[in-house]
Chain A
Amino acid sequence: NAGVTQTPKFQVLKTGQSMTLQCAQDMNHEYMSWYRQDPGMGLRLIHYSVGAGITDQGEVPNGYNVSRSTTEDFPLRLLSAAPSQTSVYFCASRRTNEKLFFGSGTQLSVL
């Protein structure tokens, strides 16, 4: 099993550009989520999904869209990047009531 795979590892965007952060897991986990990590703020939940076709907002959803067309993939879209979205993004997945597995992160800078 590859676990949770995130791409890209690093990305630099200009304000207003769009991009998609990819996340895939091969463990057949129902639950997938996106977090952002900022200095002094810990991890904050952006969006999550409890299964294919179902998504919901977390603590800081504004400026981000998600979709879950398959069990394996949970992409995070930035439609119009802003400097406030400069952060490290982590994707995670788990089975219901089990531990959370994290990807290795995507470091995003918005200039």
Chain B
Amino acid sequence: GEDVEQSLFLSVREGDSSVINCTYTDSSSTYLYWYKQEPGAGLQLLTYIFSNMDMKQDQRLTVLLNKKDKHLSLRIADTQTGDSAIYFCAESGGGADGLTFGKGTHLIIQP
């Protein structure tokens, strides 16, 4: 079945850029997503990219997609303490069988 892999932890200093990486196996993925989960809260869609795009930028967020290598990354510029959360990568073939999520990357901000 499909699989999505991401590192469990990432530690960065406040003000630096954070880059969270994700690899997936489903070559038919139509959409790839980044969700953010703050402590005790549900998942919030941060951004998503359609599979025919290489890059998407939204303010401090940049998503890069390398479809050949099945590699997705999320870059957060000027990381702030409010960015501390778990970030989930997810992929969907656009069908009815739901999204496949990675295990989540805990982003830890050091002062």
Binding site for B on A (CB under 8 A): 31, 33, 35, 40-45, 48, 50, 56, 58, 90, 96-97, 99-105
A98 — nearest CB in chain B belongs to which residue?
B31
What residues of A have a CB within 8 angstroms of the CB of B94 in the complex? Answer: 96-97
> Which residue on chain A has the smallest CB distance to residue B101?
A43
State whether A99 and B48 are in contact (beta carbons under 8 Å apart), knowing that A48-B96, A50-B96 are contacts in the complex: yes
The 6 closest A-B pairs by CB, nearest first: A42-B103, A43-B101, A104-B42, A50-B96, A102-B43, A97-B94
List B residues at the A interface (Cβ < 8 Å): 8, 30-31, 33, 35, 41-45, 48, 88, 90, 92, 94, 96-99, 101-104
A97 CB contact (under 8 Å) in B30, B35, B42, B97: B30
| B42 and A90 contact, CB distance less than 8 A | yes
B42 touching A99, Cβ below 8 Å: no
Contact A105 B42 (CB under 8 A): yes
Contact B45 A100 (CB under 8 A): yes
**Could you say which residues of chain A place their CB within 8 Å of the CB of B102?**
42
- Partner pick for B98 among A33, A96, A99, A103, CB 8 A cutoff: A33
Looking at chain A's contact residues, is the secondary structure mostly helix, strand, loop, or mixed? strand
Q: Other CB < 8 Å A-B pairs besides A45-B97, A102-B42, 14 of them?
A: A35-B98, A41-B103, A42-B101, A42-B104, A43-B88, A45-B98, A48-B98, A58-B98, A90-B42, A97-B31, A99-B31, A99-B45, A104-B41, A104-B42
Report chain B residues within 8 Å CB of A90: 42-43
Which residue in chain A gives the minimum CB-CB distance to B30? A97
Q: Which residues of chain A are near B92, meaning CB under 8 Å?
A: 100
Closest to A33 in B: B98
Minimum CB–CB distance from B9 to chain A (whole Å) comes to: 12
Q: Which residue of A lies closest to B47 (CB)?
A: A99
- Compute how far the CA of A103 lies from the CA of B37 in the bound complex, rounded to whole angstroms: 12
